Amino acid sequence: MAENKKTLLFSVLGVILLLVVVIGVSYAMYTFSAQGSKVNQITTGTISVSYEETSTISLTNAYPSTDATGSAVTGHDLVFTVTGSITGSTSVKYDLALANITPGKTLTAEHIKFNLKKGDTYLIGTANTGVTVASRATEKGTLITTGYLLDTDTLTSTKTGATYTLRAWVADTYKLPQGANTTSEDGKTQTNASTAETFKFGVEIKAAA
């Protein structure tokens, strides 16, 4: 293959993180769903992108969590891998960011916390702490300039990719919403506890040679 026909193959596994939270007065259920998505933008012109769906990850928790509790829950992580197959001296830079953020009515970005590992190293947060989604709003890269930047890296023929692990939980700052008040026939006020909230966000990657 000629030198000027170098190719790069990006594989982003589990690029979308869907966090669905169903909340009642006495319980909360958090569901993580990883799905393939074409949210990614590649700008080099000689790059192909492949997507692969992963299995759904479910987490059930009684209430919003402290960092110590939320960060300690195992088996409920979104793991995705960025890989490149590059020949010659070509290098390709990429930005990785949160994207497609859709808050609930009360469950908003300041109440969702997460940490992020690259390999075995924490890029955001630590093993025992996280940061809010809202705190990343002003973090920008050179390729992704809309905020929520997670990482910037460069792939070469010898540096071919990285595996990321993102763990998210509902912060203990979040107050479980109450349902609408109703009044019974005897004049006593009762509370409807059937209230649900949803927060969704994805992961975007943009690359350029």
> Six-digit token pair at 60?
């059930």
Burial group, residue 15, by CB count within 10 angstroms (0-12, 13-18, 19+): buried
Distance CA 77, CA 62 (A): 18
Q: In this structure, how many other beta carbons lie within 10 angstroms of the beta carbon of residue 90?
A: 18
pLDDT digit string, tens, across residues 9-42: 444 433 333 333 333 222 233 333 333 344 444 4
pLDDT digit string, tens, across residues 145-185: 999 999 999 888 888 788 888 888 888 998 877 665 555 55
Cβ proximity of 13 and 52 under 8 Å: yes
The pTM is what? 0.70
Can you give the pLDDT at residue 23? Answer: 30
Mean predicted confidence (pLDDT) in 72-91: 75
Q: In this structure, how many other beta carbons lie within 10 angstroms of the beta carbon of residue 122?
A: 16
**What is the strand order of the sheet 149-155 is part of?**
41-42, 200-208, 92-102, 149-155
pLDDT bracket for residue 188 (50, 70, 90): low
Distance CA 180, CA 169 (A): 26
3-state helix, strand, coil in the chain (%, to 5): 5, 50, 45
